[in-house]
Amino acid sequence: MDNILRIVVTGPVGAGKSTFIRTISEIEVVDTDRKATDEVAELKQSTTVSMDFGRLRIGEEEEEMWLHLYGTPGQARFSFMWDILIRRAYGYILLVPAHLPGQFRNAQAIQAFMKARTDVPSVIGITHVDHPNAWDPEDILLILNNQSIPHTTLNAQEPASVANTLLLLVEQLMPQVVV
């Protein structure tokens, strides 16, 4: 396949990366979820330890393209996978959980890591905005110092919401992609 766009979905623990990919993938997602045994267990039962992979076809047959979606682990101890996955990516989506302010610094660290390795387009997706303890998205963007990067709020469980987030990134990629 010559028309493949590799998209990385990254962010801290609990942001919804695996859910995002499962919601939109046309194939059964390949994942490396394992039982959470450290402080992550307080947030959820399982966690990604290597990556998630899903695929989505966009466009008509003659101009069809494939989005290969790679989800990163959220924990810094698996940052070697961040490095592997971002190297050939066309762009990335940084998911930030609005209801977990303790993860905002981790989101900053992940974004700094990605920016140090690539200058591909990115989008910030703020998740869990419907949670009662969710921070205002504009406040989160101020904390991340990223008001200029395209951003959106999304529900990682809703296909239309995930598709709109992907579209926001793909629109940035189109001038760079030769089909």
For residue range 109-133, list pLDDT tens digits in order: 999 999 999 999 999 999 999 999 9
Give start and end residues of each alpha helix (H) in 13-152: 17-24, 79-86, 104-117, 137-144
For residue range 13-37, list pLDDT tens digits in order: 889 999 999 999 998 877 765 555 5
Is 179 among the domain residues? Answer: no
Cα 130 to its chain centre, rounded Å, is 19
What's the alpha-carbon Rg for the chain, to the nearest Å? 15
pLDDT for the residue 138: 92
| Whether the model pTM is above 0.75 | yes
Burial class (CB in 10 A: 0-12, 13-18, 19+), 48: buried
Name the residue with higher pLDDT: 137 or 147.
Answer: 137
Is 122 among the domain residues? Answer: yes
Give residue 74's identity as a one-letter amino acid code.
G
171 sits in which H/E element:
helix 159-173
pLDDT surpasses 50 at 1: no
Is 107 among the domain residues? Answer: yes
The boundaries of the domain holding residue 110 are 4-174
Question: In this structure, what token pair is assigned to residue 55?
Answer: 């695929």
pLDDT for the residue 46: 56
Buried b / exposed e across 140-157, counting CB within 10 Å, b at 16+? Answer: bbeebebeeebbbbbbbe
pLDDT band at 174 (very low <50, low <70, confident <90, very high): confident
Q: What CATH number does residue 115 fall under? A: 3.40.50.300
pLDDT for the residue 113: 93
CB atoms within 10 A of CB 41: 12
Is 140 among the domain residues? Answer: yes
pLDDT for the residue 103: 92
Residues ≥6 apart with Cβ < 8 Å to 168: 123, 150, 152
| Number of separate domains in the chain | 1
pLDDT for the residue 2: 60
pLDDT for the residue 175: 65
Buried b / exposed e across 94-125, counting CB within 10 Å, b at 16+? Answer: bbbbbebeebbebbbebbebbeeebebbbbbb
Is 94 among the domain residues? Answer: yes
pLDDT surpasses 80 at 8: yes
Is 162 among the domain residues? Answer: yes
Distances 107 to 102, 113, 179 between C-alpha atoms, Å: 10, 10, 32
pLDDT surpasses 50 at 167: yes
Distance CA 82, CA 102 (A): 20
Task: Report CA dihedral (91, 82, 130, 28) to the nearest 10 degrees.
Answer: 80
